[in-house]
Every structure is written in C-alpha cells, then in structure tokens.
Amino acid sequence: MGKNKLAKFEEMKGFEHVVQAPYNQVKNSDSPFKGKWGKEFFGNDNPIILELGCGKGEYSVELAEKNPDKNFLGVDIKGARLWKGAKIAAEKELKNVGFLRTNIEIIGQFFAPEEVDEIWLTFPDPQMKKTRKRLTSTFFLKRYQPFLKKTGVIHLKTDSKFQYSYTRALVHLNAFNVVAETDNLYESEILNDTLRIKTFYEKQWLSRGITIKYLAFQLNEKEWTEPETGFEKDEYRSFGRSARDL
C-alpha cells in the first residue's frame, strides 16, 4: 500500500463525520448508530438520504450544500476514495453530510426500519455479468426495503444503457411506482438543480457524447422477480478506471 493511501487512511480516523465499519469488523453485529443517525450523528431530526457506492463523495457533498435542511450519508467500502469527500466536507465545515465505510451487502445492519428517506445510486458499476451484484437488483432492493420509508424514493443516475434498461425493466415488471424516468436527462423537462450535479465521470461521459439516464422509483410490498436477460451491453470504457466487461 502506498504512503499516500496510508496517510489518507490515517487522516480518515480523525474525521468526526466518518464511520468506518467494514464487514470484517462488524460481521453480524448491528451498528451503534442504528436508529440513531439523526440525533446522535447529525444532531437533528431532518430527513436522511443515502448515496450508496458514493466513490469520492462528490455527489453527497454537493447534495448537502444544496439542501441544508436534509442529512446526507455517502456509503462506500473504498476508504481512499471516501477520503476525498470527507476532506472537502471538513474543509467546508458541512454539518449535514457524513460518510460510512462499509460493504453495501450488510447495509441493513446500520439502519432501523424506515430510518432513511431516499437512496441515491449515482453511476454504479452496471455489473453486466453478475445480476446479484447490481445495486438495483432484487438482491439489493430487498436489503434497502426494511430501512427505507414506505414513501421513500430510489434515484438511479447512470451513463450505462445496460444499467438503465435492466433497472427500468425490473421496475415495470414488478409494478413499482415510477416517479420519473428519462434516457436523456439533459434534454428532459425533469432536469433540476439536484440532477445537474456532475461527478468527475459524468463530465467525462458527457464530453464523449454519452447521454445520462435517470430513473426514480418507489418499492412496493409484493414479491419481486428479475426481468429476463438480453439487455444490450455497454461497449465503451472510462478513462482512469478499469475497463468494463464487454
């Protein structure tokens, strides 16, 4: 491990707005913040919004800046990535954004029933070969459902046609309530200040002429099934990140 990464990990330990609890530390125990994120972590009763797979936390930080009356928590397992957002939040003295370093597979151990108001999935890895690893698969949706409020909205923002097509098919197949959907966000009437927030990779996609897709939906109480396979795969890769499965 490089010295720079070690330095980031060490600095992360001193951030009051960062909780580090990877699976090998938590295992089967619940977080002490479960059911208490509002009062004990943020110090208020404002709505709690998660960004799962937040990477460097760019979106979480900007969401917090634009919405001071809401609490935002970016979640990712990569500590060196989270450091970036945590550092910016500390420098800007933002009190309504925090970061949780853990595995999303065990996210249910951190939140009580209906503790979370919204979930953002911003440019997740489409996981074209493994359905179960997709953050919008029924495998993960079943993990979000217990702690997401009944009226809670899940937001997917993606460059991936595969991710969008798969998720849209799943949403319609299971009769979820569609709040908004578009396969070309920046040409859509639903575009607003929140959706205009751009991450490093989103700027890259746009500069290459790749459209941004957006889908917002609410879960229901029914039994869910996966859509049939056969979605067109993405045939491009990002700069500065591992190639996607082709």
Annotated binding site: 51, 76, 103, 125, 129, 159, 199-202
Rounded to a whole number, what is the distance in angstroms from the first to the last CA of the chain?
29
Binding residues for S-adenosyl-L-methionine: 51, 76, 103, 125
Cβ atoms of residues 213 and 234 within 8 Å: no
Q: Active site includes 193?
A: no
Sign of CA dihedral 187, 192, 193, 197: negative
Asked if residue 30 lies in contact with residue 109, where contact means CB atoms within 8 angstroms, the answer is yes
Write down the catalytic residue from 30, 45, 117, 125. 125
| 157 SS3 class | strand
Distance CA 49, CA 122 (A): 13
- The annotated binding site for substrate is made up of 129, 159, 199-202
Pair of tokens at residue 155: 């937001």
Q: Which two tokens stand for residue 87?
A: 């550092």
Catalytically active residues, by annotation: 125
